[in-house]
Chains A and B, each alone.
Chain A
C-alpha cells in the first residue's frame, strides 16, 4: 500500500499567559491511500489542532507533514493554496458554509476559487452540474437554492461534505463531522463517508464518539500529545 500522508515528530504548543500549553509532543502518524482512519481522544487533546496541521491550515512548531512524498512546510504560497484547493477536502465540526451563498454556490466555491473569471465562465456549467450531482447524492437535490441557515445541521454537514469533495481531493479530512448531530443523523453522515471510502476515498476523521470511530477502518487514539 502507498502512503498518502505522513506526520513526523509533530510538536505544537500554545502560549497560555506565561506558561506554554504543549498540545502535540512528537506525534507520528501514517495514512495509506484508500484508508479510513478515525482519530479519537479526549476533548482538548489536540485532535482539531492535528487535523489543521495535516490539512495545511496551521503550522507545527517542529516536525513536518509529508503529503504524497512532498513536505507541505516546504510548499510556496501558491503551492500551498493548490494543495488546500485540490489535494485535501476539509469538513469542519461547525460546517463553515458561507451564509451569503446558497448551497449550490457553496459547493462550487472550491472550483470557482481555483480558476480565473474566464476559466470560470468556461467551466461554470460543468462545475454546477457536478455540484448538483453531489448534492443529489447526499440527498440535498431539492435544497440547492436554499441558504445554509435554512438547512438543518445534518443537511449543512452533508452540504459541507459535498463542498469538500468538489475538486475530487486525494484526502478527506473531517473534524467531528457528527459532533453536533443526533446519533441517527450522525449515522447517516457516517454511512456517506463509508460509501465514499468504499469508492476509494482516503479519509481521516476526528471524533470523540467511540461508536462512530468503530465504523472506520482504523482507530488511532490521541493522548498526551501522542498517538497511543
Chain B
C-alpha cells in the first residue's frame, strides 16, 4: 500500500514538562504532518497517552513510529489498525439559529445523536461525539445555517479486543 491515507498512532509517554515539545519538534523536523492530536492521562501513573492522526503511506508511518520510539520519553508506540477499533472525537459546534431554523437544527442534532448544550437568542451550541466521518458530515449539514465556531478534541482510538 503506497497511497496516502489517514493513520492513527498512539504513544504512551512520560508525563513531564517538555515532552509534547520533543514530539512535535521531531514531527516538524522530519516533515510529518499531524492532522489531529489528543493528549491525556493514561491508566498508568505518571504516563500520558497521545493519539495522533497523520497522513501518509506505509513507509512514512513506519518512519514516524520508529522516530517516535527513538525519543527517550516515549515508552511505547503503536499504529492503530484500520478495523476493529473504536474511534471517537468530541466536537462543540456553535451554529447560528433563528426562530425559523432552530427546530430544523435540533432535528439534525437528533439524527446524529448530538445534544444541544447551550442556547442563546441567535445561536445554539451542539455537542457531538463520534468518529471523524460523522463529525465531517454533521458539519457539512450545519454549514447552511451558519457555522460560527467549531472546536474538536482530536481523535482517540481503542482496540475492541485487546489493550494497546
The answer to whether A and B belong to the same complex is no
Contact surface of A with B, Cβ cutoff 8 Å: none
Contact surface of B with A, Cβ cutoff 8 Å: none
